[in-house]
């Protein structure tokens, strides 16, 4: 037997609490494999407060070098989850992640899934992430009255019929993905008794059976609704007096009602382009901007800007400090008579501005005051080495009296011209002596 070196601590000399802490950073499969090391390790994995089970079929069966998961692999996974839960002794479970995604036609039986969720709930789980493909499934009633849950993430692709007696006293974060809401009442019930709720993400969910998607909560701070589907007929109603961050990425819906938004600090409104009636979309879309007039930071897609610039009168943003219009090479816009230059006069306190070069059209002689006196940082993306782009950059350098930094993000096809862009702009006179130019 090898002798122990003085001053060297072997892993077996560590107390159980430290070993369990180390195991908590491993996947549950690897942690369970340590049970064969010695009698000391045999039951340590059963005390780990984090359980992580993943079986994902990421490639089609015809993919070279990849084989589709067979029934024996699926059965083995199911038995492994059952065994771990059977032997797991922790009654204070921190995290439970179950990701079981297979190709169409394959799924886990609903009784196993029901048993796994119930097992996590019985162990006082705090953070539950359930990502699984089903044909038919009903969530346990106990899930909707769990007192220990702090985070709940469901990605199940099923209709979510929320019971009326829902009660999540400690739930702070709710993330729903690929969920189909049963009706208007299910939406209201979901937020009716979550007194600690602070953050909500609704991602790729179906509003097919919902006429009014209504979120009313006195303490909610962050809300994101991303890529919802079947929502053209739906109204979005939000009453959240403490909401500070709001994100909406999706198609224009039938109407927007945002109440009590005095605390809103930042908003990300990215309407997705549709080949529909621009004026009809503009009427609905503009209403949401009029209701978030007091934000300090705003992100909007080029199509959002197009809808906004086509409305009369344009909403004012008297407290806006940061404005970002991200470049989207996929999005094809209609011709804008008034682009970014129409919006700038309505943002008198603007200090930071980021936009793709094609949303800035005509360069008016009547300059907005923010561009002359306030804007300190400007970033122009999709920049090309052509006369129009160079003219726009020169215009900004010539008139930006408070400008401290101008960043040029060259278009992919014009990257090799960065040196020429630099030579032209570095040699051009600047109104602000503090202005630094960066070409990327």
- What is the predicted pLDDT for the residue at 132? 85
* Six token digits for residue 406: 């101008």
Phi first, then psi, for residue 408 (nearest 5°) are -110, 115
Spatial separation of the C-alpha atoms in residues 29 and 127, rounded to whole Å: 19
- What is the predicted pLDDT for the residue at 275? 67
The single residue listed with the structure tokens 């909403």 is 315
Sheet with strand 235-239: strands edge to edge: 212-216, 235-239, 255-259
Q: Which residues of 53-83 are buried (b: 16+ CB within 10 A; e: fewer)?
A: bebebeeeeeeeeeeebeeeebeebbeebee
For the chain, residues with pLDDT lower than 70 are 1-9, 13, 36, 42-43, 58-69, 103-108, 135, 275-277, 330-338, 362, 364-365
**Distance set, CA 292 to CA 43, 54, 295, 354 (Å):** 55, 41, 6, 20
- What is the predicted pLDDT for the residue at 322? 97
* Six token digits for residue 427: 């040699």
- What is the predicted pLDDT for the residue at 11? 73
Kindly report whether the peptide bond that precedes residue 179 is cis, defined as omega within 30 degrees of 0: no
* Spatial CA neighbour of 225 closest among 191, 194, 267, 259: 267
- What is the predicted pLDDT for the residue at 435? 94
* Element (DSSP H or E) covering residue 180: strand 180-181
- What is the predicted pLDDT for the residue at 164? 81
Q: What are the helix and strand counts (H, E) for the chain?
A: 11, 20
* Six token digits for residue 66: 């990849």
- What is the predicted pLDDT for the residue at 381? 94
* Six token digits for residue 434: 């503090």
Half-sphere exposure at residue 375, Cβ-oriented, CA atoms within 13 angstroms: 26
Spatial separation of the C-alpha atoms in residues 333 and 340, rounded to whole Å: 14
**Distance set, CA 252 to CA 233, 272, 297, 323 (Å):** 10, 8, 21, 21
Grouping H, G, I as helix, E, B as strand and the rest as coil, residue 334 is: coil
Long-range contacts of 145-148 (CB under 8 A, 24+ apart): 146/121, 148/121, 148/124
Q: What is the DSSP letter of 148?
A: S
Spatial separation of the C-alpha atoms in residues 224 and 245, rounded to whole Å: 8
- What is the predicted pLDDT for the residue at 1? 43
* Six token digits for residue 422: 């630099």
- What is the predicted pLDDT for the residue at 338? 62
Half-sphere exposure at residue 333, Cβ-oriented, CA atoms within 13 angstroms: 24
Long-range contacts of 361-368 (CB under 8 A, 24+ apart): 361/336, 361/337, 363/391, 363/392, 363/395, 367/399, 368/341, 368/344
Please give the model's pTM, rounded to 2 decimal places. 0.86
* Six token digits for residue 393: 């950059």
């Amino acid at each position: 037997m090898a002798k122990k070196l003085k001053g060297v601590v072997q892993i077996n000399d560590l107390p159980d609490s430290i070993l369990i802490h180390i195991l908590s950073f491993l996947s549950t499969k690897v942690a369970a494999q340590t049970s064969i090391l010695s009698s000391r390790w045999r039951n340590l994995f059963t005390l780990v407060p984090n359980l992580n089970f993943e079986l994902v079929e990421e490639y089609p069966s015809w993919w070279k070098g990849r084989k589709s998961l067979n029934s024996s692999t699926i059965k083995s996974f199911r038995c492994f989850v059952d065994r771990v839960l059977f032997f797991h002794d922790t009654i204070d479970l921190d995290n439970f992640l179950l990701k079981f995604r297979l190709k169409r036609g394959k799924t886990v039986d609903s009784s196993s899934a029901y048993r796994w969720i119930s097992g996590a709930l019985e162990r006082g789980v705090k953070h539950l992430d359930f990502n699984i493909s089903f044909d038919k499934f009903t969530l346990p009633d106990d899930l909707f009255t769990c007192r220990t849950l702090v985070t709940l993430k469901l990605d199940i692709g099923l209709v979510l019929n929320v019971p009326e007696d829902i009660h999540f006293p400690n739930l702070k974060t709710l993330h729903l993905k690929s969920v189909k809401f049963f009706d208007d009442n299910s939406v209201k019930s979901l937020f009716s008794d979550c007194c600690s709720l602070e953050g909500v993400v609704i991602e790729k969910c179906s509003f097919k059976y919902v006429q009014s998607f209504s979120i009313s909560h006195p303490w909610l701070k962050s809300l994101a609704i991303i890529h919802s589907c079947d929502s053209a007929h739906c109204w979005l109603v939000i009453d959240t007096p403490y909401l500070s961050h709001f994100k909406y990425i999706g198609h224009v819906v039938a109407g927007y009602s945002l109440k009590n938004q005095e605390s809103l600090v930042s908003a990300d409104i990215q309407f997705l382009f549709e080949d529909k009636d621009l004026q009809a979309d503009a009427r609905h879309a503009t209403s949401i901007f009029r209701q978030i007039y007091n934000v300090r930071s705003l992100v909007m897609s080029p199509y959002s800007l197009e809808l906004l610039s086509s409305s009369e009168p344009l909403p004012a943003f008297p407290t806006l400090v940061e404005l970002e219009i991200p470049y989207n090479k996929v999005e094809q816009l209609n011709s804008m008579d008034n682009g970014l230059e129409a919006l700038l006069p309505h943002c008198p306190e603007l200090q930071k501005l980021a936009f793709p070069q094609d949303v800035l059209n005509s360069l008016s002689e009547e300059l907005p005051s923010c561009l002359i006196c306030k804007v300190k940082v400007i970033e122009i993306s999709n920049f090309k080495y052509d006369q129009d782009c160079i003219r726009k950059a020169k215009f900004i350098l010539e008139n930006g009296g408070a400008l401290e930094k101008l960043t040029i993000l060259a278009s992919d096809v014009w990257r090799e011209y960065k040196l020429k862009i630099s030579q032209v702009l570095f040699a051009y006179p600047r109104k602000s002596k503090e202005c630094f130019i960066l070409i990327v």
